[in-house]
Amino acid sequence: MVRLSMGCGGALYTPTLVLTAAHCVNGTGNNTSITITQGAVDLQDPNRTTRQSNYVLQAPGYNGTGKDWALIRMSQPITGVPLLQVATDLSLNSGTFTVAGWGAASEGGSQQRYLLKADVPFINDATCKASGGSYSGLVDAEEICAGFPNGGVDTCQGDSGGPMFRRDATNTWRQVGITSWGEGCARPGKPGVYTEVGHFAADICTAANTIGGCQTPPGGMSVSNPGNQTSTVGTAITPVTHTASGGTAPYTFSATGLPAGVQINASTGQITGTPTTAGTSNVTVTATDSSSPAKTASTSYSWTVNSAPIPGCSATNGTDFAINDNATVSSPITISGCAGNAGTGSTVEVHIVHTYIGDLLVELVAPDGTVYTLHNRAGGSADNINQTYTVNLSGEVANGTWNLRVNDNASADTGRIDTWTLNLGGGTPPTCAPGTNGTDVNIPDNATVNSTIAIASCSGNASTASKVEVHIVHTYIGDLVVTLVAPDGSTYVLHNRAGGSADNINQTYTVNLSSEARNGTWTLRVQDAATADTGRIDSWTLTL
């Protein structure tokens, strides 16, 4: 437990890093103004330990709602004292929690010389939101509530940034929350709201690795955390590597929550593959060492798989646009072949070269002028933005001119928009009218015949769920092999001598033709592979 000189609390995350609330600090960057006090209940204890800060990292994207966490790096480590282990999942988000701090002991009161603590029970999100006022804006996935229905016990002004914690199944103290906000102090029906540490554990670890290192769990064994992942259906991922330390090599790795189509190598900890299904999952990678009894360690992060780009619904602008000092610049992309609205999982891949990204406000401007903020002066002195943002654009018509707008809000640093890609996943590709051939084609005994459909003016590739509706008159369909032949000669077998002595085929087949260009001549090829029965292709329809 630590006290911060600006009037907040915190907890030792590592010997050099303090975990606190984002609203307690002012942005990201070098900062030597914060005094950290540790090792004493009494802030005037002559044996207390003090350190000065040298860097502050505020949660990326923090704008006052949710994401209320920050890390403060100290100029010298505090060694030889226990660290408060953070929860790495949501399993501890229930029961009774302990809160502590040097904040006011009553609403409007003075902050305290002596550390106080109290126990408060969990309150579910629905009940918390029903408290009215500001609580209706609770960010479910990022905030957790605790307190008594009748009030009386709560955190208060000056406790912000301090930990909310409880014991896990091994009796180890775990931090499940960071004191964030509430209406007043200990009022009836107005619980305390805390940052949900388990939700942000991977983000905190990733940030910590950039300024000193992630937290190592008890026993000394840990698994590296690669940070949250984003990939695309049908595109092979860049291998994601995990390493273990602190135990006895060799290690065995396993994973839960991996997207369909990707897998982990048990020996190396490397994840490879090609995602097949869109969605977001929470991935947990566990390493087991070779000691007896074996030690284990885990790390968790989220993995979002975006839908594959739909032909006509994505585009890239690779032209450089200079970002001058204290100026605004826009880079346009025009979408013209994407019917309907954009998708809930649309993505904006942004590559900006700039020497101080804390200067930048980056926005996506829809064709109707609606603005979606992607980056709002986060990142401090870090260089460059190379990030893919997922945005719900389902309220926007896909077609039109979209703009990436970048505003440089401070002097002394410049850069350029290098390239950006807009993928309006969830929209629909250009309308492609079905083609039909209704001309009868006789199927003689032991012969092969063809019926063709020519598709033109239908850009892009066919769909993963293309349809082939087939009507064949024949007295013994067990004789027949029916094949769709694509314009490039690729073949897709629809019916292979099934059905025995049944008469006629009247069926619609669903075929993944996403690797085939729509335009060209498609062929329905029918082979009669046995004697004694004949028939005809009556008609067939192709919907790409």
Catalytic residues, by residue number, are 23, 68, 160
Cis-peptide, bond into residue 444, ω within 30° of zero:
no
Residue 430: φ, ψ to 5°: -55, 140
Q: Can you tell me the distance from the alpha carbon of 133 to that of 130, in angstroms, rounded to the nearest whole number?
A: 9
Contacts of 292 (CB under 8 A, 6+ apart): none
The helix/strand/coil state of 180 is strand
Contacts of 494 (CB under 8 A, 6+ apart): 468, 470, 482, 483, 484, 509, 511
User: How many other C-beta atoms can be found within 10 angstroms of the C-beta atom of residue 537?
Assistant: 25
Residue 183: φ, ψ to 5°: -90, 110
- By the 8 A CB rule, do 341 and 396 touch? yes
Burial of 110 (0-12, 13-18, 19+ CB in 10 A): exposed
Beta-strand (E) ranges in 197-345?
A: 222-223, 229-232, 244-245, 252-256, 262-264, 271-273, 279-288, 296-306, 314-317, 321-323, 328-335
For residue 221, the number of C-alpha atoms closer than 13 Å in the C-beta half-sphere is: 18
Beta-strand (E) ranges in 59-133?
A: 70-74, 85-86, 96-101, 116-123
Q: Tokens standing for 200? A: 């942000």
The helix/strand/coil state of 494 is strand
Q: Can you tell me the distance from the alpha carbon of 331 to that of 403, in angstroms, rounded to the nearest whole number?
A: 5
